[in-house]
Structure 1
Amino acid sequence: MTEPKRQSQAKMSRSMGGPLAGVAVLPPGLEEAGAAELTSLGAESVQVLRRAVAFRTDLKGFYRLQLQARLPFRILRELARFSCDGPRQLHDAVAGAADWDQWLPPSRSFRVDVSGSLPGLAHSHFTALQVKNALVDGQRQRWGERSSIDRDDPDLCLHLHLGRAPGGRGGMGVLSVDGAGGSLHRRGWRAAVGLAPLKENLASGLIALTGWDGSVPLADPLCGSGTLLIEAACRQLGRAPGLDPAGNQPRPQLLGHWPDFKAALWAQEVKAAQGLAEAPPPLAPIVGLEHNADVLEQARANAVSAGVGDHVQLQQGDCRDFQPPSGPGVIVCNPPYGARLGGEDNLEALYADLGVMLKQRCSGWSLWLLSGNPELTGALRMKSRRRIPISNGGIDCRWLHYEIR
C-alpha cells in the first residue's frame, strides 16, 4: 500500500470509525435541560458547555438525536480538532482534517460556518475563506476542479469553532459537519409567527423545565401565536421534531451526503421516530387565550399545521377574563415586555391585572412566566420560587416559577 493511500485511510478512520464526538448547540439557559434530553436519547459522555452540550454516540445514535432532540439549534459531528495559531496553521490543519476525497468530491457544494475567534482569525468571513481555500486548493491539486459554494442549499455544511486550548495554551480549532445544514428550531409547522414569537426549541425547553407531563391542565392566558402550547402538545403526543408536521417523512437533512451514511440505520430511526406518535396518551386540557383576533387565527393555523389542532383549545379574549379549567394545573406565558401593547404604563397595568386575576382564580396552580423586564414583573405582586436565566433572542430573561396561593 502506498503512503498516500495509507494516510487517506487513516484520515477516514479518524472521522468515521468508533464512537462519534459531537456538540449540540442550545439556547443559552437550556444547557442542563439539553444535557438531560441527550442523555435520555442515548448519548454518552455528556458534558455541559456554554450554550452547548458535548457528547459521544454512534452513527445510529446520531440519527436518533437528529430526529428526536427538541432543544438544539444544531447537532454537529466532530471531524477533527487541532492546534490553531493563525491562518497558515488553520489552512494546513483543515487540509489534513479528513479524507476530503470521500467527504467533499468536486461535484458537491459546501458552506462554511464559523464561531469564535483567535488572534489573526478575528473575522468570521476571513476565517471561513481560509477553510474554503484549504479545501478547494486540495481539490484542484487532486482533481483539477473544485466544489462550488452554496450558502443556501449546500451538500455539505462545515462548522469551525475557534477558541483557546484547555489551560489557555494557544489556540484550538474544532471542525465539524452539520447534520441538517439549517437551524433545527424550524419544525416546519409555523407559517405564521405573531408579533413576538418564541423559537420552537426554546419554547420546548421552557415547557421541559416546568415538568408538565400532560396529566394536569396547561394554560396560557397570553398565548400569542401559540408556540408554548403547541410545543407542549407535540412533546406529549410524541410528534418528533425531525419529521415533517404530518409525522410521515424526515425533514430535509444533509447527513445523507456523508460518506458513511447507512440508509438501513437511518430508516430504522425514522421508523422509531414515527412510532412515537402511535397510541398517544390522553392529555388534560390545553387552553390558550389571545385578545388579538388576527394573532389568534395565526395560532389556530399553527396548531393545525403542527398536527395538534384537536388537542389545543384556543379562544379569543382578554387575559383579565381568563377562566382556568378545573385545576390544579400549570400556567405558562410570555407576556409582552416591549412595545407590543403600547407604553410602559399600559404594560405595568397589564402585569398588575394579570397578578390579580391569577390570585383570584388560579389558586393551587403553578405559574411559569418568561420575564424580560423585572420592573414589570414586580407589578404582579407575587414572589417567585425559581428564577432560571434564559436568553430569548438576545434579551436577558428569567423563566420565573410561582406557586399561586
Structure 2
Amino acid sequence: MHIFAPCPRGLEELLVNEFNHCGMTQVEQVGGGVRARATQESLYRANLHSRYASRILVRLAVGAYQKEEDLYQMARKIAWHQWFDVSQSFKVSTTAVKSPLRSLDFATLRIKDAVCDRFRADRGGRPNVNTDQPDQRIQLFLTETSATLYIDSSGNPLWQRGYRGAAGAAPLKENLAAGLLALAGWNDTDETGKPVYETFLDPMCGSGTIVIEAAWMRANMAPGLNRRFSCERWLDADRALWTKLRAEARAQIRPMAPQTIFASDMHPGAIAATRRHLEQVGLSDAVTLDQADFIGRGAPATTGLLVSNPPYGVRLSEQEELQAEYPEWGRTLKQQFSGWTAALFTADLELTKGLGLKPRRRFPLKNGALECRLFVIDLVSGFHRKQKPTES
C-alpha cells in the first residue's frame, strides 16, 4: 500500500530513517512529510513506534479533477465497506493547495455523500458522521489539478501519546519534542554503543512534554504503547499481529539508570502537571523533579544535555520582559553548565544574541505556524566557540 505521513517541518529526515527501520520501502522525503510503500506489518509497526509522524495515511485513490462532481465519482468508486463496517462512524477532512474550487466545505460534503451512497449500494445502510471522535477518518487532499483520497490508519494524531486526554494539548506537540531531542543528540552513541550524553535536564519543563519524551527514548519505549489506532478497527485487522508487535515492543524496553534525567520549573502549577503526567506514564521514579528557577540553578552532573523550550512572549510587553532575563540565562549556562551541551527551542530568532552565546548548529523548524529555531550550543569552560554556526 502507498502511504503518506505528515510531520513537523524539519523532521522529515528523522522520519525517513524511522520508516526504513520499520520495514517500509521506497521511502521518500517530501516537504512536510514522507511517502513510502508499506505492508500491513510495517504500517502497524510504524504507528506503534513512530516518534516523529503526525499520522499515517493510506492512499486509496488519486486522479485529476475540475469540479466537485469529479471528486464524488472518485470517492464513489472506492469499496469503503471493505475497509470499515457500517456501524462505525467517520469524518471527512479536506486540505488544499491552490485548488480552484470555491468551497472546500462543499467538496468535503460531496466526499461524505459518496461514501454514504456507496455503503447504501453495497450494504443497504450508511454509517454515521461524527466530527468529534470518529471511528474512521478520510482525508481529501487537493492541488490545482489533482485530488488524492486517503484513509487514516492512526485515528487520533500520533503526537497524542495516550496520557493527556482529549483536552490536554501541550504548547509543544510530542512528536516535535521528540524531534528536538533527536536533533540535539540525545540518541547519539559513541563507537562502543554508549550514549554520548548520560544526563539530561529540562530546566523550564512546563507540563513535562520534553522530559517524558527524553525518558521514553532512553528506555526505548514505543510511544504508541498506551493508545489504540484506527487501523485496528479495519475489517482486515490482524489482532494476532498487533498482540505480537506490542509484546515485542514491551520486551525491548530498557531499564534506566537512576539520577540521570532531571526536570525543573519555577512555577508550582507546571511542576504539578509534570508530576501528574509522569505518574500517568509510570515514570515517577525515573525522573528527578524539582521546583526551581533556572537562573542560578546548578547542573546535576559535570556533563550532560540540556534541552528546553523557554517561554516566548506573544505580546510585545511579554517579549520584552523575557528578553530582559536572557543575560541571566546566559550567565547561568556559562557558570553552572560548563561541559554541557544546551539545545534551546524558541520562536525568538535573536535568543542566542541575548544569551551572549554562539550556537554550534541551528535547525530551522516550525511550531504550528510559528517560525522557530533549535539552537545547539556547546558550553565550554572559559570561552565560547567562535565558529560560524551551521544551519541545517
With structure 2 as the length reference, what TM-score do the two structures score? 0.88
Is residue 2:104 matched to residue 1:124? yes
Is residue 2:72 matched to residue 1:91? yes
Is residue 2:384 matched to residue 1:402? no
Kindly report which structure 2 residues correspond to 1:308-387, keeping only aligned pairs within 5 A, or say none: 308-338=283-313, 343-387=318-362
Cα deviation for residue 142 of structure 1 reads 4.2
Partner AA of 1:258 in structure 2: W
Q: 1:123 to 1:270 in 2, by over 3 A?
A: farther
Percent identity, aligned pairs only, is 35
> Which ranges in structure 1 are unaligned for 5 or more consecutive residues?
1-19, 165-170, 245-250
Partner AA of 1:87 in structure 2: E
User: SS at 2:295's partner residue?
Assistant: helix
Q: Which residue pairs with 2:148 in the alignment? A: 174
Cα deviation for residue 280 of structure 1 reads 2.5
Q: Which residue pairs with 2:13 in the alignment? A: 32
Is residue 2:241 matched to residue 1:265? yes
Asked whether the equivalents of residues 386 and 400 of structure 1 are also in contact (C-alpha less than 8 Å), the reply is yes
Q: 1:149 to 1:324 in 2, by over 3 A?
A: same
Q: Which residue pairs with 1:227 in the alignment? A: 209
Cα deviation for residue 147 of structure 1 reads 1.9
Asked whether the equivalents of residues 347 and 376 of structure 1 are also in contact (C-alpha less than 8 Å), the reply is no
Q: Which residue pairs with 1:151 in the alignment? A: 131
> Which ranges in structure 2 are unaligned for 5 or more consecutive residues?
188-194, 381-392
Rounded to whole Å, the distance in 1 between the matches of 2:354 and 2:10 is 25
Is residue 2:114 matched to residue 1:134? yes
User: SS at 2:143's partner residue?
Assistant: strand
- Cα deviation 1:5-61 (Å, max 9, x = unaligned): xxxxxxxxxxxxxxx211111012211111122222222211111211111121011
Rounded to whole Å, the distance in 2 between the matches of 1:72 and 1:305 is 23
Q: 1:233 to 1:342 in 2, by over 3 A?
A: farther
Rounded to whole Å, the distance in 2 between the matches of 1:201 and 1:347 is 26
Rounded to whole Å, the distance in 1 between the matches of 2:98 and 2:121 is 29
Asked whether the equivalents of residues 191 and 302 of structure 1 are also in contact (C-alpha less than 8 Å), the reply is no
- Cα deviation 1:167-211 (Å, max 9, x = unaligned): xxxx22221111132111111223699997311111111111112
Q: Which residue pairs with 1:43 in the alignment? A: 24
Q: 1:353 to 1:192 in 2, by over 3 A?
A: farther
Partner AA of 1:346 in structure 2: E
Q: 1:337 to 1:82 in 2, by over 3 A?
A: same
Q: Quick one: which of 214, 218, 221 aligns to 2:200?
A: 218
Q: 1:193 to 1:341 in 2, by over 3 A?
A: farther
Rounded to whole Å, the distance in 2 between the matches of 1:77 and 1:195 is 26
Q: 1:332 to 1:345 in 2, by over 3 A?
A: same
Q: 1:397 to 1:118 in 2, by over 3 A?
A: closer
Partner AA of 1:326 in structure 2: A
Count of paired positions = 372
Q: 1:145 to 1:344 in 2, by over 3 A?
A: closer
Kindly report which structure 2 residues correspond to 1:181-220, keeping only aligned pairs within 5 A, or say none: 181-190=155-164, 197-213=171-187, 215-220=197-202
- Cα deviation 1:139-163 (Å, max 9, x = unaligned): 3344443221112233321111112
Is residue 2:32 matched to residue 1:73? no
With structure 1 as the length reference, what TM-score do the two structures score? 0.85
Asked whether the equivalents of residues 112 and 158 of structure 1 are also in contact (C-alpha less than 8 Å), the reply is yes
User: SS at 2:164's partner residue?
Assistant: coil
Cα deviation for residue 116 of structure 1 reads 1.4
Q: Quick one: which of 367, 378, 386 aligns to 1:392?
A: 367
Q: Which residue pairs with 1:4 in the alignment? A: none
Q: 1:347 to 1:152 in 2, by over 3 A?
A: same
Asked whether the equivalents of residues 138 and 149 of structure 2 are also in contact (C-alpha less than 8 Å), the reply is yes
User: SS at 2:146's partner residue?
Assistant: strand
- Cα deviation 1:88-109 (Å, max 9, x = unaligned): 211111111x323323553332
